[in-house]
C-alpha cells in the first residue's frame, strides 16, 4: 500500500485521545489506512448486517467480545453505540481505545458532538494526493511563496491523464478503467448514501443537480440560478449542496473577508474534490478530450484547490483558504492564510507563463500595500518552476 500522509498524525493522536475518528468519502482508503496503522487492533465492520444487528440489539454484549482496542468501521450505521463508547472510555480512560471510521460526515459528527465531545480527535481522509502517488513528502500549503519543495520528480503520467483518472485509490491500486469505476461509484453513492443522509424523493433530479454543480466547479455559486436550472427550490438547493459537502464530493471556498475599502463578492466558489469524478459528470470520456475542452481551466483549478484541501486535512489544519474578488471583477483564485501571513495564489492552466498571469497578483499587491510581504504564488500547467517578478512560479507537479 502507498503510504498516506495522515499516517504519522494518526499514530501520534492515538497516544493522546481515547477515541480517534477518521471520516472521508467512500473509497478514499480509510479502512485500509487504519487497519495498516493499527494492525494489532480488533476490526469490526458494521456494514455487515449480522454484526450490525448484534451491536444494535445487545450493545453491552457486543463490546464484551473485545478485550483490547477496537476499530469500528462505518460506525455511523449504529449511532446508539456512541453512548456506550462514552461510558467505556470514561471508565477506563485509556488512549487509543477506539478507532472509528465513517463516510457520512453529517451522521457521524452529529453523534460525536452529542456523546464524545472532548474525548475524540477527528480527521478527514481524502483520495490520494499527487505527492502520495509519487511517494514523496507533501509540501505544506503554509510554505508556498517562501520556497520550492525538494525531492520532486515529474510523474510518469501527463497532466491530462491524471486529471481524467482522478485520485481515488482503487483506480490507481488496481489499474482500473477510471470511467467504469467512477460511474459505478457514483451510482452507488446516489442510491445508497444520498438516501441515508437526506430524503430525496426524485433521485434523477438529484443526479441532474450534481451534474449542474459539476458545470459550476471553479465558479461563484449562485443558489437561485442553480435551483432554477434544476427545477427545485432555493432551500432544496442549499440542502442538497450540504449533502454533497457532507459526502466530501465538493467544497465551498469562502470569500476573503478583508475588503480594503472595496465592495466584495460575498458568495462562495464551488469546487469538486476529485477531478476524475468531475470529468465523468461533465461527460468527458477520454483524457485526450481535456486538451481542448472548454472546462479545462476550471478542471485544472479544481485540481489545485483539491490538492490544497488535502494538505489542510492531512498536514496543516491551521491553514485557511479563501478567494478574493471585488465587484469590478478583480480576483485572486486563493488566499492562503496562516496566522497574520496571507499569500495570494493564482492558477493558470496554460503551459507558457505570460504577463497576463500576474494581473491578479499585481492588483492584490498594490491594493494591500504593506499588509502583505509576500508577492504571491502562481501554479500553471507547465513543467518549470522559477521566481519571476518576485512571484514563486510552480509547475503543475511541483507545488
Q: What is the DSSP string of 257-288?
A: S--TTS-B--S-EEEES-HHHHHHHTT--SGG
- Chain segment 206-237, per-residue pLDDT in tens: 899 999 999 999 999 999 999 999 999 999 99
- Out of 110-119, 290-299, 382-391, pick the least confident: 110-119
Cross-sheet strand order for the sheet of 269-272: 219-220, 269-272, 250-253
How far is CA 37 from its chain centroid?
21
> What confidence score (pLDDT) does residue 281 get?
97
Q: Is residue 373 predicted with pLDDT exceeding 80?
A: no
> What confidence score (pLDDT) does residue 203 get?
82
Kindly indicate the confidence band of residue 93, based on its pLDDT and cuts at 50, 70 and 90. confident
Please report the domains of the chain, with CATH numbers, ordered by start residue: 7-124 (3.40.50.300), 137-395 (no CATH)
Rounded distance between C-alpha atoms, residue 223 and residue 218, angstroms: 15
Q: How many Å is the maximal CA-CA distance in the chain?
A: 68
Averaged pLDDT of the chain: 91
Sequence-distant (6+) residues with CB within 8 A of 368 are 260, 342
> Could you tell me which of 235, 229, 184, 234 has the C-alpha nearest to residue 210?
229
Residue where the block lists cell 480594503? 260
Kindly indicate the confidence band of residue 278, based on its pLDDT and cuts at 50, 70 and 90. very high
Angle subtended by helix axes 105-115 and 81-92, to nearest 10: 40
Decide: residue 71, CB within 10 A, 0-12 exposed, 13-18 middle, 19+ buried: buried
- Chain segment 281-321, per-residue pLDDT in tens: 999 999 999 999 999 999 999 999 999 999 999 999 999 99
pTM, two decimals, is 0.94
Rounded distance between C-alpha atoms, residue 323 and residue 271, angstroms: 12
> What confidence score (pLDDT) does residue 303 get?
98
Q: Is residue 259 predicted with pLDDT exceeding 70?
A: no
- Chain segment 127-172, per-residue pLDDT in tens: 999 999 999 999 999 999 998 998 788 999 999 999 999 999 999 9
Rounded distance between C-alpha atoms, residue 396 and residue 39, angstroms: 36
Q: Is residue 279 predicted with pLDDT exceeding 80?
A: yes
Q: Is residue 39 predicted with pLDDT exceeding 70?
A: yes
Q: Is residue 108 predicted with pLDDT exceeding 80?
A: no
- Out of 89-93, 113-117, 172-176, 240-244, pick the least confident: 113-117
> What confidence score (pLDDT) does residue 2 get?
87
Q: What is the mean pLDDT of residues 53-68?
A: 93
Rounded distance between C-alpha atoms, residue 150 and residue 305, angstroms: 21
- Chain segment 313-364, per-residue pLDDT in tens: 999 999 999 999 988 888 999 999 988 889 999 999 999 999 999 999 999 8
Amino acid at each position: 500500500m502507498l503510504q498516506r500522509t495522515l499516517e504519522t498524525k494518526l499514530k501520534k493522536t492515538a497516544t493522546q485521545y481515547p477515541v480517534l475518528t477518521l471520516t472521508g468519502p467512500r473509497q478514499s482508503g480509510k479502512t485500509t489506512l487504519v487497519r495498516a496503522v493499527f494492525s494489532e487492533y480488533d476490526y469490526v465492520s458494521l456494514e455487515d448486517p449480522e454484526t450490525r444487528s448484534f451491536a444494535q440489539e445487545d450493545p453491552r454484549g457486543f463490546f464484551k467480545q473485545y478485550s483490547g482496542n477496537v476499530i469500528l468501521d462505518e460506525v455511523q450505521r449504529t449511532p446508539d453505540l456512541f453512548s456506550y463508547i462514552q461510558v467505556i472510555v470514561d471508565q477506563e480512560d485509556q488512549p487509543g481505545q477506539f478507532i472509528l471510521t465513517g463516510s457520512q460526515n453529517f451522521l457521524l459528527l452529529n453523534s460525536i458532538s452529542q456523546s464524545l465531545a472532548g474525548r475524540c480527535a477527528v480527521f478527514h481522509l481524502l483520495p490520494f494526493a499527487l505527492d502520495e502517488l509519487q511517494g514523496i513528502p507533501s509540501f505544506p500549503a503554509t510554505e508556498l511563496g517562501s520556497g520550492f519543495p525538494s525531492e520532486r520528480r515529474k510523474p510518469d503520467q501527463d497532466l491530462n491523464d491524471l486529471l481524467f483518472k482522478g485520485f481515488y485509490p482503487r483506480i490507481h491500486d488496481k489499474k482500473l478503467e477510471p470511467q467504469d469505476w467512477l460511474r459505478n461509484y457514483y451510482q452507488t453513492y446516489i442510491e445508497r448514501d444520498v438516501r441515508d443522509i437526506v430524503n430525496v424523493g426524485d433521485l434523477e433530479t438529484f443526479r441532474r443537480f450534481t451534474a449542474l454543480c459539476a458545470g459550476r466547479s471553479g465558479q461563484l455559486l449562485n443558489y437561485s440560478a442553480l435551483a432554477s436550472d434544476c427545477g427545485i427550490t432555493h432551500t432544496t438547493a442549499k440542502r442538497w449542496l450540504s449533502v454533497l459537502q457532507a459526502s466530501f464530493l465538493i467544497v465551498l471556498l469562502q470569500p476573503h473577508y478583508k475588503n480594503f475599502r472595496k465592495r466584495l463578492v460575498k458568495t462562495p466558489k464551488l469546487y469538486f474534490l476529485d477531478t476524475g469524478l468531475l470529468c465523468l459528470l461533465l461527460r468527458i470520456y477520454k483524457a485526450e478530450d481535456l486538451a481542448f475542452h472548454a472546462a479545462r481551466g476550471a478542471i485544472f483549478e479544481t485540481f489545485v484547490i483539491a490538492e490544497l484541501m488535502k494538505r489542510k486535512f492531512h498536514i496543516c489544519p491551521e491553514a485557511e483558504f479563501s478567494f478574493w474578488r471585488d465587484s469590478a471583477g478583480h480576483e485572486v483564485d486563493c488566499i492562503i492564510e496562516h496566522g497574520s501571513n496571507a499569500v495570494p495564489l493564482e492558477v493558470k492552466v496554460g503551459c507558457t507563463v505570460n504577463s497576463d498571469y500576474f494581473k491578479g497578483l499585481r492588483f492584490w499587491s498594490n491594493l494591500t500595500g504593506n499588509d502583505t510581504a509576500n508577492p504571491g504564488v502562481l501554479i500553471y500547467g507547465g513543467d518549470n518552476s522559477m521566481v519571476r517578478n518576485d512571484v514563486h512560479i510552480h509547475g503543475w507537479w511541483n507545488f
